[in-house]
């Protein structure tokens, strides 16, 4: 059974589908019992959506989009934007 620290440490990987079935089940069962981690999970889910949108939003300055991508590139890796990864 995962504890809070483990759960929070694995949440990104959970979103990226990088966890084994056992690790994923562990986290899901922890989220079922722990409101704190569930809130963090919801927050990350929301954040990921916002970040994924913002790197594609043409109204955001390129430099800021690159910065966002640098911070959250791991999270967004599955839908890589070549425009942002090339050249730096
Ligand atoms: Zn917890």
Are 59 and 26 in contact by the 8 Å Cβ rule? The answer is no
* Confidence check: pLDDT of 88 > 80: no
Kindly report the average pLDDT of the chain as a whole number.
82
How many distinct structural domains can be found in the chain?
1
How many C-beta neighbours within 10 Å does residue 44 have? 16
User: How far is the centre of ligand 1, averaged over its atoms, from the C-alpha of 60 (Å)?
Assistant: 35
- Which has more confidence, 25 or 75? 25
pLDDT digits (tens, 9 = 90+) for 52-71: 888 788 888 888 888 877 87
User: How far is the centre of ligand 1, averaged over its atoms, from the C-alpha of 40 (Å)?
Assistant: 9
pLDDT digits (tens, 9 = 90+) for 28-59: 999 999 999 999 999 988 888 888 888 788 88
User: How far is the centre of ligand 1, averaged over its atoms, from the C-alpha of 11 (Å)?
Assistant: 11
User: How far is the centre of ligand 1, averaged over its atoms, from the C-alpha of 3 (Å)?
Assistant: 6
Q: What pLDDT does 85 receive?
A: 53
Q: What is the 3-state secondary structure (H, E, C) of the chain?
A: CCCHHHHHHHHHHHHCCCCCHHHHHHHHHHHHHCHHHHHHHHHHHHHHHHHHHHCCCCCCCHHHHHHHHHHHHHHHHHHCCHHHHCCC
């Amino acid at each position: 059974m995962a504890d809070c620290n483990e759960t929070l440490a694995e949440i990104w990987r959970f979103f990226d589908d990088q966890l084994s079935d056992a690790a994923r089940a562990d986290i899901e069962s922890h989220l079922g019992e722990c409101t704190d981690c569930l809130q963090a999970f919801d927050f990350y889910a929301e954040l990921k959506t916002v970040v994924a949108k913002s790197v594609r939003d043409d109204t955001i300055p390129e430099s800021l989009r690159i910065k966002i991508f640098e911070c959250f590139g791991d999270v967004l890796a599955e839908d890589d934007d070549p425009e942002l990864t090339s050249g730096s």
